[in-house]
Structure 1
Amino acid sequence: MASLLGICLTLAASAQAGLPSAPVFVPGEQVTLAWTHSIEKVRWEEDYVVATNQASRQVPVLLAVKARVRGSAAGMEPPDDAVLKNGWYDYTPSIATSAELRLTRSEFTADYELCHASSCQPMSHWLPSDRGITLMTPCTAEKLLSKK
């Protein structure tokens, strides 16, 4: 039986302190993480695929497959291989695989948006912010249920 793939969201402070903080499971093998730069007010989007690791066939991995930035500004220039299409610099991220993403969430900026299944919602839709770091990791529903 195949496991349902998705991402898990966890508050890093709770995880580091050993406090109970059940990860929130968001199902889907494709997600887009989006945010607006706090100073330049420019939107960024990164597309990820959750897949099983080819070596272990059990452990899911997070693959960055595509990224876009709506324009450029100081300190946030798109990479040299980016292509400008309809106002977006489109490129393939140089770091393709991640075990986790550490997302800093602040009360002074708009929350990240998580898009999947043709719908985008602020990350707070799934997990409230503690104004610290939220961990986004690839996971399976089966693994999450086994921790409970």
Structure 2
Amino acid sequence: MAAAVAQRGGGGLSLCLASAGVVKALSIAAFTLAWTHSIEKTAWQEDWRVTDAGLELVQARIKGFGAGMEPPPEARLVDGWFQWAPPPTPRPEVVLGNSGAAGEWYLCHEARCQTLSEIFGHTIGASVTTMSACNSP
């Protein structure tokens, strides 16, 4: 899936995932979010950074294009992926839905990818998951 990203140790900011009343804090400074588009069945990846201002999208990649997923004009084809860097706009939270039509979201860091269900330790199903920056315990 995605390239390895950095992990932060000991205190500071973490990535918090909340779904169905359960919150998981992951002590990571950056991660890749990966999924398959529900209609086109095309792979999509986004590299995110956890910052004091919120979650910041660093780069997006898509394996092809089609219904509602056209890469922007500045995208470049690199190793079979259209990739681009959107303007840095920190977001307080990112909400992930799941239609059930395309499989699960994958969160990748340190060259390892896990589904959200694997991270939470139970099936997420159609539950919404909210990502945000939070303070490490």
* Greater fraction helix: 1
Unaligned stretches of 5+ residues in structure 1: 15-20, 54-60, 143-148
Q: SS of the residue aligned with 1:23? A: strand
Map of 2:15 onto structure 1: 7
Percent identity, aligned pairs only, is 36
**2:125 is the counterpart of 1:141:** no
2-side partners of 1:115 and 1:66: how far apart? 14
The alpha-carbon distance between structure 1 residues 106 and 129, as it changes in their structure 2 partners (threshold 3 A), is: farther
Equivalent of 2:107, from 114, 120, 138?
A: 114
2-side partners of 1:141 and 1:39: how far apart? 37
Map of 2:116 onto structure 1: 123
Following superposition, which runs of at least 4 residues in structure 1 exceed 6 angstroms of deviation? none
TM (normalized to structure 2)? 0.83
Map of 2:6 onto structure 1: none
Equivalent of 1:79, from 48, 72, 82?
A: 72
Q: SS of the residue aligned with 1:98? A: coil
Kept after mapping to 1: 8 A contact 2:95/2:128: yes
Unaligned stretches of 5+ residues in structure 2: 1-9
1:75, distance to aligned residue in structure 2 (A): 1.8
Query: For residues 34-73 of structure 1, what are the structure 2 equivalents within 5 Å?
Result: 34-53=34-53, 61-73=54-66
Which amino acid in the other structure matches residue 36 of structure 1? T
Kept after mapping to 2: 8 A contact 1:65/1:96: no
Which amino acid in the other structure matches residue 107 of structure 1? G
2-side partners of 1:3 and 1:82: how far apart? 36
Q: Which has the larger radius of gyration?
A: 1
Bigger shift: residues 106-115 or 75-84: 106-115
Q: CA RMSD in A?
A: 1.7
Q: Alpha-carbon deviations, 1:28-58, whole Å to 9, x = none? A: 10100010001101111000111224xxxxx
Q: SS of the residue aligned with 1:124? A: helix
Alignment coverage as a number of residue pairs: 126
Q: Alpha-carbon deviations, 1:62-82, whole Å to 9, x = none? A: 111111011111221001111
